[in-house]
Amino acid sequence: MKFLLLLSALGLCWAQWDPNTRPGRTVIVHLFEWRWADIALECERYLAPRGFGGVQISPPNENVIINDPLRPWWERYQPISYKLCTRSGNEDEFRDMVKRCNDVGVHIYVDAVINHMCGNGVSAGTRSTCGSFFNPGARDFPSVPYSAWDFNDHKCRTASGDIENYNDAYQVRDCRLVGLLDLALEKDYVRSTVAEYMNRLIDIGVAGFRIDAAKHMWPGDMKAVLDKLRHLNTTWFPAETKPFIYQEVIDLGGESIKSSEYFDNGFVTEFKYGAKLGTVLRKWSGERMAYLKNWGEGWGFMPSNRALVFVDNHDNQRGHGAGGASILTFWDSRLYKMGVAFMLAHPYGFTRVMSSFHWPRYFVNGKDINDWMGPPNDDGVIKEVTINPDTTCGNGWVCEHRWRQIRNMVTFRNVADGQPFANWWDNGSNQVAFGRGNKGFIVFNNDEWPLSAYLQTGLPAGTYCDVISGDKIDNKCTGMKIYVSADGNAHFSISNSAEDPFIAIHEESKLENLH
């Protein structure tokens, strides 16, 4: 009886950290700054058929309009109210997106900006996306409503009112992050108001939340908000399902605030992941892929069952946030595809794929002075995501999630879900391989010489399509074929100059016997 009670308690506990994706779908994608109408269409035409589990969307609530029409991406992180109208669409379009995506089994995860309102430097009378009046100087946001009583000005002890020392946890959590007006989440009114906004989204049908700037809120205050959240909408989710929570906590070590302080509230973003993987694939500081054998907790990362992992995100692909120059992005497409493939093949963490837009990079003294630029637009209106004949995106959208090498690795991860890390091989340098039980196997060559080796795959005998160089279509391979013998071994040959110097095979890429 005690054992059954323990199992029941564990089940209730784990429910709080369940990503809520449908069985067999293990990856979410961040469709950064997409319109709601385009996300709805992408769920139906691409994400559901390709096995994606969900979409992280940009903040859906009203924000300040900066420098119209040259509007930066970061204006989305300066809230004015919790009304659902942004340049991505209005409330009706938001509701339509959530319904259409849920109906095809692709769930929506909202980027929730609840630490602050807009910056203290924004002038009263500046326009907002819903047209709401606000006065940052007076701390007056009547569309919420918030007043001066609802902000942390009285608690911050720095001369500027902003964070001045990241080794002081009180400053980080009680003072303004780059001038953004810091909400007093210790107040029950503020907690209840934030929870009311999030519950409204839950009722509409979202599956969970990315908590922006979680590091700048006390874990206990966040827990008080999360405890007020309702269960998910039973139209699409089982009864008493809790929303999935993952918190943005930048912890590269050396500061007073630790990721582990937030584990009780949900998953946490593991920023060390992309920074370290980029360093390894760039072969900086003497790193080599052979050292990835104990990737994960062995590298000082948080526990796998608390880690939301990614190669890059909307901040650090622009040099903000964490990771610096080591971060791999679509600008480094060859290494980037390798990094994302490694992430999706490896069992550590819950994975999020980035989907970006282009901007004209212009460097001055090593800094991209155009990193502020918002999404492709016509006079401030976001452009439609158009699809080219080869299924890539046009109109300035990068759509990494549609790259063959990445979308096929999403399938690899789904197929290998729950299978153990197995059959590691390396050459002591930058040629490595590993499998996932008897479901999948991947080989990388990041050295400056060719790879040619017979390796134990752990897979059943047969002919497999390499899902990096092509697809399996009508029981034929459009790319390379890999022959696995009865003992599970196969020969792999990868040129060091190949466009994609890696090969991946899995159970569903095996050709059926032809008679």
Catalytic residues: 212, 248
Q: Do residues 109 and 56 lie in contact, with contact meaning Cβ atoms separated by under 8 Å?
A: yes
CA distance 393 to 416: 28
Beta strands in 11-124 (DSSP E): 27-31, 54-57, 107-112, 116-119
Q: In 16-155, which residue ranges form alpha helices assigned H by DSSP?
A: 36-42, 91-103
**How big is the chain, counted in residues?**
515
Indicate the burial class of 111 (C-beta count within 10 angstroms; 0-12, 13-18, 19 or more). Answer: buried
3-state helix, strand, coil in the chain (%, to 5): 30, 25, 45
Concatenated DSSP letters for 116-156?
A: EEEETTSPTT--BTT----BGGGTBBTTTTB-GGGBSTTT-
Q: Walk across the sheet containing 440-445 and list its strands.
A: 421-426, 431-436, 440-445, 502-506
Q: In 311-432, which residue ranges form alpha helices assigned H by DSSP?
A: 333-345, 404-416
CA distance 310 to 76: 21
Run of H or E including 407:
helix 404-416
CA distance 481 to 224: 54
SS3 51: coil
What sign for the dihedral angle of Cα 35, 41, 47, 50? negative
SS3 307: strand
Could you identify the residue written with the tokens 């060719």? 450
